[in-house]
Amino acid sequence: MDEALLRSLTPAVIAVLCRRGLDFAAAEDAVQEGLVEAVRLWPDDPPRDPKGWLVAVAWRKYLDVARAEAARSRREVRVELEPPPGPAVAVDDTLGLYFLCAHPSLTPASAVALTLRALGGLTTRQIAQAYLVPEATMAQRISRAKRTVARVRLDQPGDVATVLRVLYLVFNEGYTGDVDLAAEAIRLTRQLAGLVDHPEVAGLLALMLLHHARRPARTRPDGGIVPLADQDRSAWDTALIAEGVAVLQRALARDHLGEYQAQAAVAALHADAPTAAETNWVQIVEWYDELVRLTGSPVARLNRAVAVGEADGGRAGLAALAGLDPALPRYTAVAAYLHERSGETATAARLNAEAARLAHDAAERDHLTRQAARLNAALRG
């Protein structure tokens, strides 16, 4: 059974059923029933036209449910006649489905769950395991999301920026359970890039590819964090880096800069440096200047302060940090790093210990604790 094929067909088949008049929830339920039949029948009798087969079976499943409900309520329900067999119509409404799953009426968590279910073809159990929540909780979240978008038409205009934010959220979850969400986000973003010609879609794809290329070197065997400067660069995926840089260059050539392109440019400069010492921090600061101009994001300003500290010294980095809210995530850890760059070891040790207490992630907490211990040992020595 080609699971990847089934998952790739799921959004297109849902879109076909929605175009025929079904609401999103009914279409998604029917397709899930069709997928069950595909898993059961395809290994022994694979269809010549997988998409057409899945459309026809999902449509029959919907008609069965509609007729059963009509019988139970003892009233007649008019249903469309089943379409004649044959290849599925070559109309791709998948882009509309992206917009639907990232509809502004949904919370970010609901949009992510619905995207993974409808576009990614993942089961509720897989999504629940990936987000470390009970399956029943995720099922309720998906059900509420489907009800919310039930009356939204696929032909309504959508917002690419909202879709990109949802895919970025998926990517940032990384890897948990038996689902690699980073790889899933890349797959979905590749698909989106094939549906819409938009430089920021290409920018996000490039950003994902460049970050994902460094993944093998980002953790120790015990799961501990390896900082960028200490990573084994020979373990980076050079093919992904080359693809990410090529995608980014094509996007930048269109001269319509956006936040994901700017972030990808920073990632490309890191990927291009043979060693940490050869990183072009001056250019990285310039790209963060562009990112701050585009977004005004405090997180971008925080990252810019680190880059300034690398380019111009710890004191300059602390000056860039001065106007930011100390309640920002990672603020204390960044302050610790910049104080160390400035030669203030005792302050850096204290701030690393404080940042460790504030950290929510166990790997990050362990890393910051190690940094504090290292600096305290240096003070005693």
Contact 304, 288 (CB under 8 A): yes
Per-residue pLDDT of the chain (381 residues; tens, 9 = 90+): 577 788 888 888 888 888 887 888 888 888 888 888 888 888 888 888 989 998 998 898 888 877 766 655 544 344 444 444 444 444 456 888 899 889 888 889 899 999 998 888 888 888 888 888 899 999 999 999 988 888 777 666 678 999 999 999 999 887 655 678 899 999 999 999 998 999 999 999 999 999 999 999 999 988 889 999 999 999 999 999 999 999 999 999 999 999 999 999 999 999 999 999 999 999 999 999 999 999 999 999 999 999 999 999 999 999 999 989 999 999 999 999 999 999 999 999 999 999 999 998 888 999 999 999 999 999 987
* 336 Cβ neighbours under 8 A, 6+ residues apart: 347, 348, 349, 351, 352, 354, 355, 368, 371
User: The domain at 290-381 falls in which architecture?
Assistant: Alpha Horseshoe (1.25)
Looking from the CA of 133 toward its CB, the CA atoms found within 13 Å total: 13
Name the residue type at position 222: D
Contact 120, 102 (CB under 8 A): no
| Pair 173, 131: CB distance under 8 Å | yes
DSSP 116: I
Q: Where is 314: in which H helix or E strand?
A: helix 314-321
Query: Where in the chain are the domains?
Result: 3-73, 290-381
Query: What are 176-190's pLDDT values in tens digits?
Result: 556 788 999 999 999
pLDDT per position as a tens digit, 231-286: 999 999 999 999 999 999 999 999 999 999 999 999 999 999 999 999 999 999 99
pTM over 0.75: yes
